[in-house]
Amino acid sequence: MADLAQSCDVLVAGGGNAALCAAITAREAGATVLLAEYAPCDFRGGNSRHTRNFRVMHGAPTATLTEAYGEDEYWDDLRRVTAGETDEALARLTIRGSAAAMPWMERHGARFQPSLTGTLSLSRTNAFFLGGGKALLNAYYRAAERLGVSILYGAEVRELHLRDGAIESVAVDIGGTTATVRAKSVVVASGGFQANIDWLRQYWGPAADNFLIRGTPYATGRVLRNLLDQGVMPVGDPTQCHAVAIDARAPKFDGGIVTRLDAVPFSIMVNRDGRRFYDEGEDLWPKRYAIWGRLIAQQPDQIAYAITDAKALTLFMPTMFRAITAASVGELAGKLGLDAAVLANTVRTYNAAVRPGAFNDKVFDDCRTEGLTPPKSHWAQPIDTPPYHAYPLRPGITFTYLGVKVDDRARVLMTGGRATRNLFAAGEIMAGNVLGRGYLAGFGMTIGTVFGRIAGVEAATHACH
């Protein structure tokens, strides 16, 4: 083992939003900082490169945010989506920290775009990065370089040697050579384990092989596994992940936002056997977006098909992959490799169950089925206008919930509750402390930014005093 004896005050493991916030903050606090990013430069930034906004508390309208979004409303939103699987103290710390984060972000090159007319309902709660997460990361990397943070690309943190509640040294693989880094403090900001199919298979069995990973292939969870194996306290359900339904034609990794499909409420969803399996019109799509990954994961071969017709094609966001199109349902079944008779029967039965109503895609309308199992509660229109369209869908994994337990100083806790002395965590690796289940748009970036800054200050303070 090469011992480069790379010594620095603070080693940051990871290269996404949380890692950069920690590295910049620690450097500005006077520490020498080494940042080890597993990905090569072109793919740096973890899942942050696929993000678009962060959720920010604010008391009054700003240049880019409308109205106000107070602490209590923010906390209510979080409590609702997590169904209580959160830590109120840490959650409120995160929420309050989001307000202070925004000017800090702007000082370090973050650019926000004004809410454009007719854009998202999120313009009140979420600040949008001009150009998205990769543009934000470009700015942060430049800021870090300017400040003198040493950045290693293609550097995988493999082992953290933890003894008596402190990290003694860290093994980092750089281009096939293992180097030992001695740092006074270590910040782990290396993400979850969603790109580790073997690990997912432990909970999901062979179904995991059919999962698509929406983000970075470098989130292998190696640091997380290594720490949990050494008695660090876990947080979050290890079996759970945020899974949405995405186009099955997406690449295995890194397909990002463009592989999403919003066609479900305006379609019927059938499985490999050509049969429906869940109410496609149960709730407004943004609220049901995240359940369909799991629903499809439970279907044979983890595949489903959204079947719709010419009427529906313009009701949802344009898609990267074009619809598979046919003049008849039977022909469509052939193109999808489904049993034509079964699919035709599914469509016929559904059409017969559709009750007439006034279609309105913006509200809970009265277009529903009657006497059908499972029902379609809203937006049900007969599928009868050729050409017929289909999209294949698979589960797309965004992130995992398992993480390390931290305190309000971002210190990693050992099982039993004792804090480690020089180990801090930020970002997805500890997001489960605050977001134990569910999803809140832009909140991952908030956790990463707030805890990244806390971890950076704490790590530098520990190292320099």
Partner 1 sequence: MHATDAVAEARRMMEICNACRYCEGYCAVFPAMELRREFSNADLSYLANLCHDCRGCFYACQYAPPHAFDLNLPRTFAQVRTETYEAYAWPGVLARLFRHNGVVVSLIAAVALAAVLLLTTALQVPVVLYGVHTGPGAFYAVVPYGTMASVGLSTFGYALFALAMGFARFWRDAAAGSPRAKPSALWRALCDVAVLRNLSGGGYGCNDRDESFSGLRRWLHHAMFYGFLACFAATSVATIYHHVLRWIAPYPPLSAPVVLGTLGGLGLLLGTSGSFALKFVRDPAPGAPELLGADTAVLVLLALVAATGLLLLGLRASGAMGPLLVVHLGFVLAFFLVLPYSKFVHGVYRFGALLRYAAERASGGVRRPPAGEQ
Total count of residues recorded for the chain: 465
CB count within 10 Å of CB 31 equals: 24
SS3 content of the chain, % helix, strand, coil (to 5): 35, 25, 40
H-type alpha helices, 279-403: 285-288, 292-297, 329-336, 340-353
70 belongs to the binding site for partner 1 (CB under 8 A): no
**Binding residue count for partner 1, defined by CB under 8 A:** 50
Q: Which stretch binds partner 1 (CB under 8 A): 147-155, 165-173, 308-316, 389-397?
A: 308-316
Counting beta carbons within 10 angstroms of the beta carbon of residue 83, is it exposed (0 to 12), middle (13 to 18) or buried (19 or more)? exposed
What are the residues whose beta carbons fall under 8 Å from the beta carbon of 264, sequence distance 6 or more? 245, 280, 285, 288, 292, 306
For residues 201-260, which are near partner 1 according to CB under 8 A? 251, 254, 256-260
Query: Beta strand pairing status for 388-400 and 324-326?
Result: antiparallel
Q: Residue from 7, 62, 66, 113 that binds partner 1 (CB under 8 A)?
A: 113
Closer of 319 and 461 to partner 1 (Cβ): 319
Q: Residue from 62, 298, 319, 325 that binds partner 1 (CB under 8 A)?
A: 319
Q: Residue from 1, 60, 84, 116 that binds partner 1 (CB under 8 A)?
A: 116
285 belongs to the binding site for partner 1 (CB under 8 A): yes
x/- mask, partner 1, residues 390-429, rule CB under 8 A, reads --------x-------------------------------
What are the residues whose beta carbons fall under 8 Å from the beta carbon of 24, sequence distance 6 or more? 108, 140, 143, 144, 147, 149, 456
Q: Which stretch binds partner 1 (CB under 8 A): 85-93, 121-129, 172-180, 350-358?
A: 121-129
**Closest approach of partner 1 to the CB of residue 106, in Å:** 11
DSSP character for 373? Answer: S
**Closest approach of partner 1 to the CB of residue 421, in Å:** 36
What are the residues whose beta carbons fall under 8 Å from the beta carbon of 189, sequence distance 6 or more? 12, 13, 14, 16, 18, 19, 22, 425, 426, 427, 429, 448, 452, 455
Three-state DSSP class for 132? coil
Closer of 66 and 319 to partner 1 (Cβ): 319
446 belongs to the binding site for partner 1 (CB under 8 A): no
Closer of 210 and 319 to partner 1 (Cβ): 319
Query: Beta strand pairing status for 53-55 and 155-163?
Result: unpaired
x/- mask, partner 1, residues 322-361, rule CB under 8 A, reads x---------------------------------------
- Binding footprint of partner 1 on the chain (CB under 8 A): 42-43, 49-53, 111, 113-114, 116, 118-122, 128-135, 138, 142, 251, 254, 256-260, 262, 285-286, 289-290, 314-320, 322, 398, 439, 441-442
